[in-house]
Amino acid sequence: MDARAAAPHERTPAAAWHALAADAALAALDAPAGGLSAAEAARRLAHYGRNELPPPPRRSAFARFLAQFDNLLIYVLLAAAAVTLSLGHTVDAAAIVGVVLINAIIGFVQEGRAERALAALQGMLAARATVLRGGERHEIAAAELVPGDWVLVAAGDRVPADLRLLRARNLRADEAALTGESVPVDKSVDAVAADAPLAERSPMLYAGTTVVFGQGMGVVVATGSATELGRIGALVSGVTELATPLARKLDQFARRITAFIVVGCALAYVYGTTVQDFGAVDLFLALVGLAVAAIPEGLPAIVTITLAIGTQTMARRNAIVRRLPAVETLGSVTVICTDKTGTLTKNEMTVVQVVLPARTLAVSGSGYAPEGGFAHDGRAIDPTADAQLVEFARCALLCNDAELRHRDGEWQLVGDPTEGALLALALKAELDADAERKAAPRVDEIPFDSELRLMATLHHDHRGHARVYLKGAPERVLELCVTAADGHPLARPYWERALAQAAGAGRRVLALATAEFAPGTVALSIDDLTPRFTLLGLAAMIDPPRPEAIAAVAECRAAGVRVKMITGDHAATAAAIGAQLGLAAAQPLTGPEVEALAEAQLAARLAATDVVARASPEHKLRLVMALQAGGEIVAMTGDGANDAPALKRADIGVAMGKKGTDAAKEAAEIVLADDNFASIANAVREGRVIYDNIKKSLLFVLPTNGGQAGVILLAVLLGLALPVTAAQILWVNMVTTVTLALALAFEPAEPDVMARPPRAPAEPLITRPLASRIVYVSVLMVAAVFAAFEWELAASGSLAAARTAAVNMIVAGELLYLFNVRHFIESSWSRETLTGNRIALAVAALLALLQAGFTFAPFAHLLFGTAAPTPGTWVVIGALAVLLFGAVEAEKAWLRRRGMQRM
């Protein structure tokens, strides 16, 4: 072999093979007739490597566990634990470390489920391939293919590598997973323009696609990561995953609260040593208590548990979460970029219109299910009483090689999607498929040919009569017709107008015709196809939108979420589907425009249209990045390998679980088990609920922590004994996190959850109204705790009892404040406040038991230095808790009068 053939990949760019004639491609690859010799194949295998995609990088379990500690709040907690331990407070230190470990274990287990060892793109490659080597046919492992191999393919085969076709007989391939094209593509050996888009490269078969009809032979031009499929894999691995909005905001919050705690403790230390003349060691211990009080050590666990509960709720609604923070992100999206084929549509061609002589019938129903009917001018008709429709449907049934099977409650197609649509039409016309085939068995046929652009079948009726049924491209069939089904001569202008209208609406059109042949005819040839046929009508079909997707898109738009359809399909088809979905589809953007437009121009076009057609993986990726550059939070939904890079780059990727490729699932954060776009609306709703509940948790945890820290800070500033110790504060934080704060994770949706616009991407986690509430409640909590502390100290003279009273005041205040927090602005003076979240009542009872043990159990007296307060103090604590509840409700009423609707 010529040494120049050692690197055909490098010498001939992959994008140019479709522009080379077959002979030129063979010459460039140094691929002799009869295939490579075994020795040359082995040499090329050593040079190029196996026809496999590199597996995605995976973190070790230990690395995943360590990653759970990579959070600034956790660093602060660990530092507090280390300082506490160095001061001899073993119980305090152990409790802090325990909280950190629990949080880490929860995150580790969830991520372990998410990072399963999926060889997604590898699973799309064929396991075996039929090749010519040394003039002989062999079946080999697809991984052993090399550039220059001659490969044979037939209907049903998955293409094992990128092939330049050398021979093609009636060859069609399903490239939906790669290009988004919903209809199988005709293939030929003729070269096309070098700048032809991927979906129009007819002399190429691409790895991972499927041959649905015919036979062919091609020469391998690319293997492994050099294939189009491999290029998508490289795009995926090269895409930077963005932090989710929640992760970004929690990180920002952690930095701010850390800075606040450090600065506050430093200022308190300077003040205590210079103004109050505290001892350095005593003051340092007090400030450790301040830090423990201020740090919301339970917050990471609360957020993780809230997200985990959200994953269970979404799973019940057919949305499987692969990464925890993605649960919340769906609730914050401002734009959903969705693929068309199989996502908004069923990926099932459907005849929606039948054009007969002098009239046009609308066909209802979608997909391959034989459910629906026919209407003329809005009025239903009986198909069995319409002779023209019956004969049209008979032709659709008999000149057809597809099968529809009803399995597991679904209609499944075996064969070509176009023929499946015609078969479903015949069944809607109430034809009995078995009876029709027995009454007019097929004698001979002319299979569909991409050059002839038609298919013909010969049938007899058991009495010697012969009839041919014909279907194909309208312009080709019209050439063969002389009359129409009404018996009049063919009126071409009428049919051409109908054809133009259907094509303009983005529909694929087939013409159906029939002719009687001489009695006893048993063979059919191309020469028999002469102008002698009767045109039965036109079938206009489309891959229609899912009915539930139309409603889901409307719901998303009502919630302020824009929906953009990005597809590899033709612009006319995309615009037609977009209009049916209620999208801005009058001026669809196309892939070539995406390449040519500058950033500012692209942003302007995206603002004006919701439909993008003829989009390649790079186009989808650029579109997502352009939207993100404009400040949008972007969700990308899809089911094909061509969606994977954009799925990974988007703020959240949503893949289809049934018909979605493994590549799309691997790149996505959420997988829809039912392949239903309507589940997106449910997921958006659930995401908003989860974000609300996380904010409610913050609104609960921060004022209580702030109140505890304020108590210690005020004691330091005034030179008083600490009303609570660090160990007691940690007890409060732990038990209220396990009980009260956790109850907020089960909060139902606020009434306006899907009636309000999405949060502004720049909106901080702690908004100004939220911060005001936090400060307000913190001040109330400090006042109530000091009142209870001083009351018990005056009543009993016991510092231990006074501190126990202070701790119980904190807990009682938090218990009633929990019911304040259940609604941001709405009043909590209602029965629903108690009954709307039964988990809250259960955990309130649990907290009462825990607090009784803390107050009265002897071991608690030893561990926490507690003592039972006097009976009168319990009355004071209860009264102060009710006053605190009422004060928060008064602030809510004031906000409502000012017209505030959300925090």
Active site residues: 339
Type of residue numbered 782: V
- Tokens 């159990």: give the residue: 857
Alpha-carbon distance of 560 to 38, in angstroms, equals 62
DSSP E strands, 246-371: 319-321, 335-338, 350-356, 359-363
**Rounded-to-integer distance, Cα 17 and Cα 193, Å:** 10
Tokens at residue 406, please?
């009803």
What does the H/E/C string look like for 168-211? EEEEEEECHHHHCCCCCEECCCCCCCCCCCHHHCCCEECCCCEE
Distance separating the N- and C-terminal Cα atoms of the chain: 74
741-761 b/e (C-beta count within 10 Å ≥ 16 → b): bbbbbbbeebeebbeeebbeb
The number of angstroms, rounded, from the C-alpha of 304 to the middle of its chain's C-alpha atoms is 20
838-856 and 726-736 are packed helices; what angle lies between their axes, rounded to 10 degrees?
Answer: 150
Query: In the structure encoding, which two tokens stand for residue 346, read together?
Result: 């069923």
CA distance 842 to 853: 17
| Cα–Cα distance for residue pair 342/35, rounded to 1 Å | 39
How many Å apart are CA 324 and CA 315, to the nearest integer? Answer: 12
Helix (H, G, I), strand (E, B) or coil at 690: helix
Bridge-based pairing state of the strands 335-338 and 634-638:
parallel
Assign 405 to helix, strand or coil.
strand
Helix (H), strand (E) at residue 672:
strand 670-672
User: β-strands 350-356, 611-613: how paired?
Assistant: unpaired
Decide: 171 and 157 in contact? Cβ < 8 Å.
Answer: no
CA atoms within 13 A on the CB side of 608: 10
Q: Report d(CA 903, CA 895) in Å as an integer.
A: 10
What does the alpha-carbon distance between residue 879 and residue 886 come to, in Å, rounded to a whole number? 11
Give the β-pairing of 442-449 and 319-321. unpaired
Burial class (CB in 10 A: 0-12, 13-18, 19+), 519: exposed
Distance between CA 511 and CA 504 in Å, rounded? 16
Q: Which two tokens stand for residue 514?
A: 């029939």
